[in-house]
């Protein structure tokens, strides 16, 4: 295995200096504004559309994509791209229908929305939920998978890599959302450039192995030698059906995953909440366009690694401690084949993706803790300066907790051949159906009551747990004929987690409707949001570009069905 050479470290150092220097310049340019908590947490009014779009992608594309999704590409192929391409459509929906509601009602955090729409109890429960989810699932997984990749490339100890990533991300985050937003533009540049370089060289290598040259020949060879890896919709007898159950990715639980993530998630929507509506919409549309490109950067390398592995490459690099193929090592193993300098660029791209995502997540944690827990429940009269300082402390504490968790349980949950990306999706899915039901009814059904929202908050989580353990308690083979269960290696019929999310969402909506109607008959009042139908009318240019993006996605699904 090749390790980084001096020139690679020089390339990486250039990236580090550029990001750090630019971030420091942004921080000092409006240093006085850092005393304002809204400016620190939201960069209110100062992010342009391209900064918003770039920050969305930089924060979203991280170790779970670069490492986890590439690993899933190695195992199941192009189908995992559904998370990216369906996200592009979702971003358009969020830009048209969700963001106008937030901005019209001057909503800056997700718990604030719940407090304004429902009540403080619902908001506080969800604030705690989100903090736990962000730290235990997201921050921890990004740190562990990122460190695993960097360790594989550099040869450094994985624990050292965890600490170095944590320190770098803290330095970026302490400058506030303005620094994060604008440095993310540079992060995306390195992410896309380095990712494309890795894909280019991987495809070239595949073509050379076949005695040919060029990336187009390499792609053609991939589609022939790994034909089973170029199908977007899995049939019921496919071993990957449990992860991506057939048409569910188009008409089922995938919508809940994406709409909850892109429309009801502080970590994501925070980038657009400080802007005006046209700027926010254009930024989201820009991010949707970039989403079309992401599978080229994160999935194709995984498929290329699969083909190269079948030809004898990575014979030992991809094995874990038990001699099992660890798909999370596919991308790092591939990067080790890059020439000097190019490997440094790819290393910078990977680090950029990890650090940007860590910084964005840590900032969201600080925002929720400071504005929605501390200011509301502990010290309502806190000064702006105190809120900003507390936000910085929350950043350090949350990253420190994530470091501890990644050291203690990271390998158990995401090592030993497990798909890290699927781990994140499944465990986030324990709360997302209830959250999405609560948000979508809260947006568009003014009668929805606070107790109905509380039912979705707690009931959604309980329903998810019940459906997870239900296969151990009863035989679910009767669902197999409908495509909603499949036998695992032990012969136990389980429900695919995306279908579980769909079932839980339906249960939450039905339960919320029943509770709301009962309470309305008793005279219980609800707090409807201010909504004007004209808010949902996008510009002609936005509509045209949106149709183009959706047309491209429809064509991709048609070709690779």
285 burial type by CB count under 10 A (0-12 exposed, 13-18 middle, 19+ buried): buried
∠ CA 198-342-20, rounded to 5°: 100
Find the mean pLDDT for residues 400-427.
70
Report the pLDDT value the prediction gives residue 19, as an integer from 0 to 100. Answer: 76
Give the right CATH number for 6-23+36-419+536-559 from 1.20.1730.10, 3.30.565.10, 3.40.50.300, 3.10.180.10.
1.20.1730.10
Find the mean pLDDT for residues 432-461.
90
Find the mean pLDDT for residues 340-367.
79
Concatenated DSSP letters for 47-89?
--HHHHHHHHHHHHSSHIIIIIIHHHHHHH-GGGGHHHHHHHH
Beta bridge partners of 494: 486
Q: How confident is the model over 78-125, as pLDDT tens digits? A: 999 999 999 999 999 999 998 988 888 888 778 888 888 898 888 888
Give the Cα separation of 79 and 226 in Å (integer).
13
At residue 420, does pLDDT exceed 60?
no
Report the pLDDT value the prediction gives residue 535, as an integer from 0 to 100. Answer: 83
Report the pLDDT value the prediction gives residue 1, as an integer from 0 to 100. Answer: 46
Give the Cα separation of 364 and 555 in Å (integer).
36
- Range with the largest mean pLDDT of 132-146, 179-193, 331-345: 132-146
Helices (H), 368-458: 384-414, 420-428, 432-444, 450-454
Comparing 61 with 128, which gets the higher pLDDT? 128
Q: How confident is the model over 506-534, as pLDDT tens digits? A: 999 999 999 999 998 888 888 777 777 78
Give the Cα separation of 324 and 231 in Å (integer).
25
Comparing 56 with 77, which gets the higher pLDDT? 77
Banded model confidence at residue 178, pLDDT cuts 50, 70, 90: low
**DSSP state, residue 16:** H
What is the percentage of the chain residues whose pLDDT exceeds 90?
A: 19
At residue 30, does pLDDT exceed 60?
no
Q: How confident is the model over 114-134, as pLDDT tens digits? A: 888 898 888 888 888 888 888
Could you tell me which of 361, 338, 445 has the C-alpha nearest to residue 8? 338
> Can you give the three-state secondary structure of 285-354, one letter per residue?
HHHHHHHHHHHHHHCHHHHHHHHHHHCCCCCCCCECCCCCECHHHHHHHHHCCCCCCHHHHHHHHHHHHH
Banded model confidence at residue 34, pLDDT cuts 50, 70, 90: very low
What is the percentage of the chain residues whose pLDDT exceeds 70?
A: 88
Report the pLDDT value the prediction gives residue 181, as an integer from 0 to 100. Answer: 63
Domain ranges of the chain: 6-23+36-419+536-559, 429-530
- Range with the largest mean pLDDT of 37-41, 151-155, 435-439, 475-479: 435-439
Task: Enumerate residues 6+ apart whose C-beta is below 8 A from 203.
Answer: 215, 218, 219, 222, 300, 304
Residue 272 token pair: 């657009």
Give the Cα separation of 179 and 41 in Å (integer).
10
Give the Cα separation of 89 and 385 in Å (integer).
40
Predicted structure pTM score: 0.82
Q: In the structure, how many helices (H) and strands (E) does the chain have?
A: 27, 2
Q: How confident is the model over 192-214, as pLDDT tens digits? A: 777 788 788 888 888 988 888 88
Contact between residue 387 and residue 187 where contact means Cβ atoms under 8 Å apart: no
What is the SS3 assignment for 494? strand
Beta bridge partners of 226: none
∠ CA 8-157-175, rounded to 5°: 70
What is the SS3 assignment for 554? helix
Find the mean pLDDT for residues 433-438.
92
Find the mean pLDDT for residues 380-406.
86
Q: How confident is the model over 5-16, as pLDDT tens digits? A: 788 888 888 877
Find the mean pLDDT for residues 294-319.
82
Find the mean pLDDT for residues 369-375.
86
Banded model confidence at residue 550, pLDDT cuts 50, 70, 90: very high
Q: Which residue has the tokens 């199941």?
A: 76
Comparing 7 with 292, which gets the higher pLDDT? 292
510 burial type by CB count under 10 A (0-12 exposed, 13-18 middle, 19+ buried): exposed
Report the pLDDT value the prediction gives residue 126, as an integer from 0 to 100. Answer: 84
């Amino acid at each position: 295995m090749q390790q980084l050479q001096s020139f690679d470290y020089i390339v990486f150092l250039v990236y580090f200096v550029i990001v750090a220097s630019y971030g420091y310049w942004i921080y000092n340019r409006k240093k006085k504004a850092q005393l304002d908590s809204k400016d620190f947490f939201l960069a209110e009014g100062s992010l342009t559309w391209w900064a918003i779009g770039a920050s969305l992608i930089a924060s979203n594309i991280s170790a779970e994509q670069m490492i986890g999704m590439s690993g899933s590409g190695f195992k199941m192929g192009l189908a995992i791209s559904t998370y990216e391409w369906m996200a592009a459509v979702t971003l358009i929906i969020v830009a048209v229908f969700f963001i106008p509601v937030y901005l019209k009602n001057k909503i800056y955090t997700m718990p604030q929305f719940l407090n304004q729409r429902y009540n403080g109890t619902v908001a506080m429960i969800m604030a705690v939920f989100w903090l736990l989810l962000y730290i235990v699932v997201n921050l921890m997984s990004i740190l562990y998978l990122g460190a695993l990749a960097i360790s594989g490339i550099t040869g450094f100890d994985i624990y050292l890599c965890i600490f170095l990533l944590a320190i770098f991300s803290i330095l970026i985050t302490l400058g506030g959302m303005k620094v994060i937003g604008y440095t993310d533009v540079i992060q995306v540049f390195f992410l896309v450039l380095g990712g494309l370089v890795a894909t280019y060289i991987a495809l070239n290598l595949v073509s050379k192995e076949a005695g040919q040259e060029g990336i187009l020949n390499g792609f053609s060879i991939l589609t022939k030698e790994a034909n089973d890896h170029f199908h977007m919709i899995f049939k019921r007898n496919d071993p990957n059906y449990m992860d991506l159950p057939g048409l569910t990715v188009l008409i089922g639980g995938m919508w809940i995953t994406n709409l909850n993530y892109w429309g009801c998630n502080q970590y994501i929507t925070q980038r657009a909440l400080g802007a005006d509506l046209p700027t926010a919409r254009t930024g989201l549309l820009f991010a949707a366009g970039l989403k079309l490109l992401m599978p080229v950067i994160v999935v194709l390398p995984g498929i290329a690694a699969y083909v190269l592995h079948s030809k004898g490459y990575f014979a030992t690099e991809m094995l874990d401690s038990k001699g099992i193929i660890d798909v999370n090592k596919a991308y790092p193993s591939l990067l080790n084949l890059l020439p000097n300098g190019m490997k440094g660029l790819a290393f910078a791209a990977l680090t950029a993706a990890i650090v940007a995502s860590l910084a964005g997540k840590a900032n969201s944690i600080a925002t929720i803790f400071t504005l929605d827990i501390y200011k509301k429940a502990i010290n309502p009269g806190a000064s702006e300066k105190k809120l900003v300082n507390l936000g910085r402390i929350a950043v350090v504490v949350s990253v420190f907790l994530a470091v501890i968790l990644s050291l203690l349980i990271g390998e158990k949950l995401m090592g030993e051949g497990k798909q890290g990306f699927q781990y994140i999706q499944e465990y986030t899915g324990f709360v997302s159906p209830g959250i999405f039901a609560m948000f979508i009814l809260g947006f568009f059904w003014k009668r929805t009551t606070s107790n109905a929202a509380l039912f979705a908050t707690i009931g959604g989580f309980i329903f998810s747990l019940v459906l997870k353990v239900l296969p151990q308690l009863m035989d679910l083979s009767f669902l197999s004929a409908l495509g909603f269960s499949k036998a695992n290696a032990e012969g136990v019929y389980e429900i695919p987690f995306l279908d579980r999310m769909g079932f839980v969402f339906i249960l939450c909506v039905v339960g919320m409707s029943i509770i709301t109607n009962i309470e309305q008959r008793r005279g219980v009042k609800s707090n409807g949001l201010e909504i004007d139908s004209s808010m949902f009318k996008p510009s002609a240019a936005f509509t045209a570009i949106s149709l183009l993006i959706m047309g491209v996605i429809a064509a991709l699904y048609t070709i690779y069905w």
